[in-house]
């Protein structure tokens, strides 16, 4: 029997929110936003302009276009100054969960703009559901260290999602909260929880960019990436105007060794971002995250001239960049000099450019503070050792040791991401020690290289081009092959392929190891050897 519900006329804008929460009707039909995707996120407002701005802002928030998201939420506030969810969205757009970045002061300032106290802000909420969204963001920007606030936020989003099981936004922001729990370091069980939530929404709403985006982030490692392939293709199709979305698809392609798709995705990224920068009177950037991935893709395709041109362009941009405020950031893509050093290192190592014009680049980095100096000095030492110039290799090795010591001493009480970065420096130190020792004492050199593999194996997987510039199992395999120990080399190359599927130098090494043993490649070996 149906029981009629009397609803006062002034409450009509809230009915959809209430019914979605209690589960008596399905959520409203998703609203498409051209170029970004679609979503169904009921809010309590009578202003169509505010609703449109809020929906656009939420999609941009899901796509990590944070600055544009904040602008859209401010437009919603202007159209309806009492729209509490617009302030929620603007505050959320100061939290970059997956990137382990949060501007808590800015987020708190947005909430204060709504009302001066948490109690007053909760009172301003137009529904119980919306008040719970506000409660969650209050915890995100409350007192205490970031990691503790991230944990409280995740718990609040879990409760909100359970209370409103048909609210896809609650599920997706819960998934995002899970991805942000471990301070920038992959935790597979937690990431799989996030993947399950995002995948649930993706199955019924494939054009929601939050669903595909978070699923990709949760599974962009070689062991799980196949689960995100459909989401990657959907994100590219449904969010063509979002540069980050076009790039994000390549997280899956790289983890699966799909080089043509990786290159296409990042070329699309460059086109989208180039149009947006031109619209604001700026030239396209030569350095950055997508540029780094694109150059790596060209290397894996064997397009060395194209990759080298990108390296030169970024190096020129870095030389002209007077803004070095991010030069001490351990993420190389957060500064032009970091990006330049990383793309140069990738080119030198993967193109085996041990001598000549490429190796001659020297930006004169201060070894006492810039992480880019660690990348540069390691690569210079590695190239010298590979061309047999051990005296030069040892000189650059000493410079690298100075940088490594400085980075360890600057860390203080490091966060999880910094711990992984410092472990990576230790892996590189062991690689140089082993490679240089191979010139006189093979067994001592191999022992150092094996230590490097053990340490690298202990590190959490980091998406993207290898952060260990010469993956340690690959390097050990090459040295074993040089010593005619092909069976041992084969084992190392097979292990290397598990962390870097499809990587050209590993496939080449494995092919040589098999040929040296006069082995016919098995079906699985053929699959690993062929380009994807």
Q: What is the pLDDT of residue 519?
A: 86
pLDDT at 515: 96
- Residue 181 lies inside a defined structural domain of this protein: no
520 CB-side CA count, 13 A? 1
Contact between residue 210 and residue 39 where contact means Cβ atoms under 8 Å apart: yes
Q: What residues form DSSP beta bridges with 33?
A: 37
> Cα(165)–Cα(294) distance, rounded to whole angstroms?
40
Q: The tokens 């002209």 sit on which residue?
A: 320
Phi/psi of residue 501, each to 5°?
Answer: -55, 135
Q: Residue 525 has what pLDDT? A: 55
Mean pLDDT value across residues 499-519 = 96
**531 occurs within a structural domain:** no
Q: What is the pLDDT of residues 232-256, one digit of tens each?
A: 999 999 999 999 999 999 999 999 9
Whole-number percent of the chain with pLDDT over 70: 91
Residues 339 and 330 sit within 8 Å (Cβ to Cβ): no
pLDDT tops 80 at residue 84 = yes
For the chain, report the end-to-end CA distance as a whole number of angstroms.
Answer: 59
Cβ density class 269-307: b for 16+ within 10 Å, e for less? bbebbeebeeeeeeeebbbbbbbbbbbbbbbbbebbeeb
- pLDDT at position 284 is 86
Helix (H, G, I), strand (E, B) or coil at 167: coil
**Is residue 9 over pLDDT 80?**
no
pLDDT of residue 369: 66
What is the average pLDDT across 389-396? 97
Q: Mean pLDDT over residues 84-112, rounded?
A: 97
How many other CB atoms are found less than 10 A from the CB of residue 427? 24
5, pLDDT greater than 50: no
Token pair, residue 477, equals: 């395999």
The overall average pLDDT reported for the chain is 91
pLDDT value of residue 522: 63
CA distance 216 to 231: 7
pLDDT for 11 beyond 50: no
Lowest mean pLDDT among 23-32, 165-174, 282-291, 437-446: 23-32
The first and second tokens of residue 326, run together, are 């991010």
> Beta partners for 39?
31
In a domain, residue 442? The reply is: no
Distance separating alpha carbons of residues 66 and 78, to the nearest angstrom = 18
124, part of any domain: yes
What's the CATH number where 157 sits?
A: 1.25.40
Is residue 313 pLDDT above 50, yes or no? yes
Q: What is the mean pLDDT of the segment spanning 126-155?
A: 97
Q: Rounded to 5, what percent of the chain is helix, strand, coil?
A: 70, 0, 30
CB atoms < 10 A from the CB of 248, how many? 28
**367 within a domain of the structure (yes/no):** no
Question: pLDDT per residue over 38-81, tens digit each?
Answer: 999 999 999 999 999 999 999 999 999 999 999 999 999 999 99
DSSP letters for 438-498: TTT-HHHHHHHHHHHHHHHHTSPP--SS-SSSS-HHHHHHHHHHHTT-HHHHHHHHHHHHH
Least confident stretch, 59-73, 270-284, 344-358, 415-429: 270-284
List, in order, residues 6 or more apart from 204 with CB less than 8 Å away.
none
pLDDT-based confidence at 26, cuts 50/70/90? Answer: low
Domain that holds residue 164: 1-174
Number of domains in the chain: 1
Q: Please tell me the predicted confidence (pLDDT) of residue 91.
A: 98
User: What is residue 453's predicted lDDT score, i.e. its pLDDT?
Assistant: 98
Q: What is the mean pLDDT of the segment spanning 505-524? A: 87
Residues 6+ apart with CB under 8 A from 101: 95
3-state SS, one letter per residue, for 226-263? HHHHHHHHHHHHHCCCCHHHHHHHHHHHHHCCCHHHHH
Q: Mean of the pLDDT values across residues 402-426?
A: 91
């Amino acid at each position: 029997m149906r029981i009629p519900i009397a609803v006062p006329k002034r409450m009509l804008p809230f009915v959809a929110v209430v019914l979605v929460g209690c589960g008596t009707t399905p959520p409203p039909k998703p609203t498409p936003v051209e170029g970004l995707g679609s979503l169904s996120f009921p809010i309590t407002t009578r202003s169509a302009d505010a609703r449109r701005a809020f929906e656009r802002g939420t999609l941009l928030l899901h796509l990590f276009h944070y600055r544009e998201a904040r602008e859209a939420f401010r437009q919603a506030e202007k159209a309806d100054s009492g729209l509490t969810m617009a302030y929620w969205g603007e505050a959320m757009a100061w939290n970059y969960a997956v990137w382990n970045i949060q501007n808590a002061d800015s987020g708190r300032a947005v909430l204060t703009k709504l009302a001066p106290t948490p109690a007053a802000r909760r009172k301003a909420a137009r529904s119980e559901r919306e008040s719970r969204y506000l409660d969650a963001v209050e915890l995100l920007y409350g007192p205490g260290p970031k990691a503790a606030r991230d944990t409280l936020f995740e718990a609040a989003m879990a409760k909100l999602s359970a209370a409103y099981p048909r609210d896809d936004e609650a599920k997706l922001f819960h998934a995002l909260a899970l991805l942000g729990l471990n301070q920038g370091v992959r935790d597979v069980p937690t990431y799989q929880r996030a993947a399950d939530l995002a995948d649930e929404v993706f199955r019924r709403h494939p054009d929601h960019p939050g669903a595909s985006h978070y699923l990709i982030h949760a599974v962009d490692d070689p062991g799980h990436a196949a689960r995100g392939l459909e989401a990657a293709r959907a994100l590219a199709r449904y969010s063509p105007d979002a540069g980050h979305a076009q790039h994000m698809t390549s997280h899956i392609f790289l983890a699966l060794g799909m080089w043509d798709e990786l290159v296409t995705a990042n070329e699309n990224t460059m086109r989208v971002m180039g149009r947006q920068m031109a619209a604001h009177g700026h030239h396209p950037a030569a350095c950055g995250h997508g540029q780094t991935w694109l150059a790596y893709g060209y290397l894996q395709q064997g397009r060395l001239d194209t990759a080298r041109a990108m390296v030169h362009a970024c190096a020129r941009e870095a030389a002209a960049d007077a803004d070095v405020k991010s030069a001490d950031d351990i993420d190389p893509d957060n500064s032009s000099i970091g990006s330049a050093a990383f793309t140069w290192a990738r080119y030198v190592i993967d193109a085996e450019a041990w001598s000549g014009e490429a190796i001659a680049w020297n930006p004169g980095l201060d070894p006492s503070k810039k992480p880019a100096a660690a990348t540069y000095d390691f690569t210079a030492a590695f190239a010298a050792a590979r061309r047999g110039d051990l005296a030069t290799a040892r000189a650059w090795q000493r410079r690298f040791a100075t940088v490594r010591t400085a980075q360890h001493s600057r860390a203080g009480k490091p966060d999880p991401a910094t711990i992984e970065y410092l472990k990576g420096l230790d892996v590189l130190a062991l690689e140089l020690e082993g490679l240089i020792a191979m010139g006189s004492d093979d067994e001592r050199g191999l022992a150092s290289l094996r230590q490097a593999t053990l340490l690298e194996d202990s590190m959490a997987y980091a998406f993207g081009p290898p952060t260990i510039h010469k993956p340690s199992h690959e390097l050990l395999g090459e040295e074993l092959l040089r010593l005619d120990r092909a069976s041992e080399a084969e084992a190392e190359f097979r292990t290397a392929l598990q962390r870097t599927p499809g990587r050209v130098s590993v496939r080449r090494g494995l092919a040589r190891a098999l040929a040296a043993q006069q082995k016919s490649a098995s079906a699985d070996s053929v699959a690993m050897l062929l380009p994807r």
